[in-house]
Amino acid sequence: MKNRYFKYGGVVIAIGIAFFVYRAVSDQLMFDKLDQGGKNPTSKRQYIAYVEDLNERYKNDNYGSTTPEGTLALFVEALKGEDVVLASNYFVPEKRKQMEEELQAGLESGGVTTLIEISKKDMKGSYLDEVRYELDTFNKNNESEYSFIFILNKYTQKWLIESL
């Protein structure tokens, strides 16, 4: 009878340990997906603070346009003026610092000029879902060459660039 209790007790303990390990690993994976200036939150409290801060940044954001095409036009105008700070502000708030650095490097390498030329091509747009929109350029074979992905800021109803 004692062996039976030890056996069941061992199973219960093993399940408890497995659950604890699963929770720790899933929380860590969730934190690893966040980009907070190169630092990842290390606790649920930091994660909650990150999300609250990000929501405030979206609520107070004045950049973008009421259409994805309008946001792209504003972005391109900023690039033509070599204003990488303004251009980066047309991205989602969590990517602005990274994009400012990348756009500055693109000014120096000539990549921004290429991006401006791409934006002059005919584009076709389509909704990916209710809050995501994609503008694509196509080659002669009607294959997608380049994509701009936009996200609708639910607080301001303005479109921001998620990715190029």
pLDDT tens digits, one per residue of 48-76: 888 899 999 999 999 999 999 999 999 99
Overall pTM > 0.75: no
pLDDT at residue 89 tops 60? yes
pLDDT tens digits, one per residue of 108-149: 999 999 999 999 999 999 999 999 999 999 988 988 999 999
Tokens of 97: 């610092």
Q: What are the CB-based long-range contacts (under 8 Å, 24+) for 61-65?
A: 61/93, 61/153, 61/155, 61/156, 61/158, 61/160, 62/156, 63/89, 63/90, 63/158, 63/160, 64/90, 64/153, 64/156, 64/158, 64/159, 64/160, 65/158, 65/159
**Predicted confidence band of residue 14 (pLDDT cuts 50, 70, 90):** low
